[in-house]
Amino acid sequence: MNRPMMKASTIVMAIGAALTIFGLPIPGLSVIGIIIFVIGAVARFLNF
């Protein structure tokens, strides 16, 4: 299945990275971003 659409794990990782970067001034938000990024990375590793 080679679709032009991005994988869900890639989108999750992008959201997590964005939350980490933009959430740096707000304590807690960057932590949530890191957690989301890790979930996306694990999903990508499992080829989900």
pLDDT at 1: 46
For the question of whether the overall pTM of this predicted structure is more than 0.75, the answer is: no
pLDDT at 28: 84
Q: What is the DSSP letter of 7?
A: P
Tell me the helix, strand and coil percentages in the chain, rounded to 5.
65, 0, 35
pLDDT tens digit at each of 48 positions of the chain: 455 566 788 888 888 888 888 888 887 888 898 899 898 888 888 875
Alpha carbons within 13 A on the beta-carbon side of 30: 8
pLDDT at 5: 62
pLDDT at 2: 52
pLDDT at 8: 80
